[in-house]
């Protein structure tokens, strides 16, 4: 490396620029710029198609009370479902990651990791099927119990749904869906924790948990946060599972176990878009734009968190 610093010729300009080089570099650069254009295009086309709904009078919007009051309950539903999923999934995902990286018998650990990677690839529509056919009926007793016992908490105010197709079930289905994603990323950073730190901790007499607490978790924290954010983004935008499982109303309520929970933005689009015409289409695209902005914000926040802690990330 030091030889290249010889002061004979400053490497500002490459001496020969072959046409092949120029074409190749140009097309590579062009592809990169094209991606930026596409992203800008996503925003631009959504805005242009949402514009009629933004400027329409409030009577023309479905519901008859304007765009804001049409979208607001959907935003509430989206956020509740995603946050519930995140709260359930993150601790479990970290536990899975720790188990696979440090607790499972060596021989089966690799296999377990592979199985979890496979589960991350299962299509969302299948999770929706499962939620509808298995989880929702299985959770009905819990709904009844929660309405009876925990009814004083607004989240469980009831009346309990008798199908189980509620926000609570949706949250759990989403949690199951994002579990493999979060745990895959956590596992990756956990297994990258420097072996010297871990061995040093063990050599000083730390128990396995103390070793994890001192050497692995501080190192993997940003990875876990990034994974959780990625999972949150996925849960926010998740469409089919919610569309299949949830049978909700339109009220903006935080009640998790009744039949009146609001739908989410994405599932509302999926349910109404195929039959929508005229201004309905524009309204739905406007709600899609809101979803786009929310996920954009979450993702940028996640990036910012990860970049801020770049010193600890697995990249170096």
Partner 1 sequence: MSTETQAPVRSAEELRSGAIRPQRRLPRLAPLGLYAAGIALGALLSALGGFSVVLTVIYGAILGTLAVYIGSRLVEGTRKATDRLVTALVTTAFAIAMVPLVSLVYTVLDKGLARFDSQFFTASMFRVVGEGGGAYHAILGTVIITALAAAISVPIGLLTAIYLVEYGSGKLKKAITFFVDVMTGIPSIVAGLFAFALFTLLFGNGIRLGVMGAVALSVLMIPVVVRSCEEVLKLVPNELREASYALGVPKWRTVVKVVLPTAIAGLGTGVTLAVARVVGETAPLLVTVGLITGTNLNPFDGRMATLPVFAYYQLTQPGVDTQAFVDRAWTAALVLIILVMALNIVARLISRFFAPKTGR
Position among 67, 179, 184, 257 found at the interface with partner 1 (CB under 8 A)? 179
- Closer to partner 1 by Cβ: residue 65 or 304: 304
Measured distance CA(136)–CA(144) in Å, rounded = 13
Residue 220 within binding range of partner 1, rule CB under 8 A: no
Q: Which stretch binds partner 1 (CB under 8 A): 62-70, 148-156, 189-197, 268-276?
A: 268-276
Q: How far is the CB of 145 from partner 1 (least distance, A)?
A: 10
Measured distance CA(179)–CA(182) in Å, rounded = 5
Residue 168 within binding range of partner 1, rule CB under 8 A: no
CA angle 185, 187, 298 (to 5 degrees): 25
Site string for partner 1, 12-31 (x = CB under 8 A): ------x-xx-xxx-xxxxx
Position among 154, 300, 308, 310 found at the interface with partner 1 (CB under 8 A)? 300
Q: Which stretch binds partner 1 (CB under 8 A): 53-61, 193-201, 252-260, 262-270?
A: 262-270
Position among 81, 238, 256, 262 found at the interface with partner 1 (CB under 8 A)? 238
CA angle 108, 113, 115 (to 5 degrees): 95
Residue 283 within binding range of partner 1, rule CB under 8 A: no
Measured distance CA(213)–CA(193) in Å, rounded = 12
Residue 251 within binding range of partner 1, rule CB under 8 A: no
Contact assessment for residue 97 and residue 161, using Cβ atoms and an 8 Å cutoff = no
Position among 61, 90, 130, 258 found at the interface with partner 1 (CB under 8 A)? 130
- Closer to partner 1 by Cβ: residue 224 or 269: 269
Residue 127 within binding range of partner 1, rule CB under 8 A: yes
Q: Which stretch binds partner 1 (CB under 8 A): 64-72, 157-165, 186-194, 202-210?
A: 202-210
Q: Which stretch binds partner 1 (CB under 8 A): 156-164, 175-183, 194-202, 251-259?
A: 175-183
Q: How many CB atoms lie within 10 A of CB 42?
A: 13
> In 192-278, where does DSSP find H-type helix?
195-203, 208-211, 217-237, 240-245, 265-272
Q: Which stretch binds partner 1 (CB under 8 A): 35-43, 61-69, 161-169, 195-203?
A: 35-43
Q: How many CB atoms lie within 10 A of CB 62?
A: 14
- Backbone φ and ψ for 8, nearest 5 degrees, come out as -65, -45
Hey, which residues does 262 pair with through a beta bridge?
Answer: 249
Contact assessment for residue 225 and residue 186, using Cβ atoms and an 8 Å cutoff = no
Q: Which stretch binds partner 1 (CB under 8 A): 5-13, 118-126, 192-200, 254-262?
A: 118-126
What would the two tokens of residue 309 be? Answer: 């802690």
Return the residues of window 56-115 that contact partner 1 according to CB under 8 A: 91-93, 95-96, 98-100, 103-104, 114
Helix (H) or strand (E) holding 138, with range, is: helix 136-149
Measured distance CA(122)–CA(217) in Å, rounded = 29
- Closer to partner 1 by Cβ: residue 82 or 256: 82
- Closer to partner 1 by Cβ: residue 194 or 209: 209
Contact assessment for residue 242 and residue 174, using Cβ atoms and an 8 Å cutoff = yes
- Closer to partner 1 by Cβ: residue 167 or 285: 285
Q: How far is the CB of 65 from partner 1 (least distance, A)?
A: 23
Hey, which residues does 249 pair with through a beta bridge?
Answer: 262
């Amino acid at each position: 490396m030091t030889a290249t610093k010889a002061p004979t010729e400053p490497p500002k300009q490459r001496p020969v620029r072959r046409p092949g080089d120029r074409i190749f570099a140009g097309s590579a650069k062009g592809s990169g710029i094209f991606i930026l254009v596409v992203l800008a295009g996503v925003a631009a086309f959504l805005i242009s198609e949402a514009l009629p709904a933004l400027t329409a009078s409030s009577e023309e919007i479905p519901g008859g009370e304007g765009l804001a009051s049409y979208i607001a309950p959907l935003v509430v539903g989206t956020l509740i479902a995603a946050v519930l999923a995140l709260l359930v999934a993150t601790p479990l995902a970290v536990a899975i990651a720790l188990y696979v990286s440090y607790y499972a018998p060596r021989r089966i650990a690799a296999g377990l990791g592979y199985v979890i990677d496979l589960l991350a690839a299962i299509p969302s529509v299948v999770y929706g099927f499962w939620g509808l056919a298995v989880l929702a009926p299985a959770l009905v007793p819990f709904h009844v119990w929660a309405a009876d016992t925990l009814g004083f908490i607004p989240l469980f105010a009831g009346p309990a749904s008798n199908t189980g197709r509620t926000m609570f079930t949706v949250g759990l289905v989403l949690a199951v869906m994002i579990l493999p994603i979060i745990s895959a990323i956590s596992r990756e950073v956990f297994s990258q924790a420097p072996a010297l730190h871990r061995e040093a901790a063990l050599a000083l007499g730390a128990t396995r948990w103390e070793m994890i607490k001192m050497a692995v978790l501080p190192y993997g924290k940003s990875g876990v946060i990034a994974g959780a954010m990625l999972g949150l983004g996925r849960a926010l935008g998740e469409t089919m599972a919610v569309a299949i499982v949830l049978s909700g109303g339109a009220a903006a309520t935080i009640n998790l176990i009744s039949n009146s929970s609001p739908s989410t933005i994405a599932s509302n689009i999926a349910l109404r878009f195929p039959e929508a015409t005229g201004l309905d289409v524009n309204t739905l695209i406007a709600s899609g734009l809101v979803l786009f902005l929310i996920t954009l914000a979450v993702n940028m926040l996640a990036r910012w968190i990860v970049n801020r802690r770049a010193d600890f990330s697995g990249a170096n």
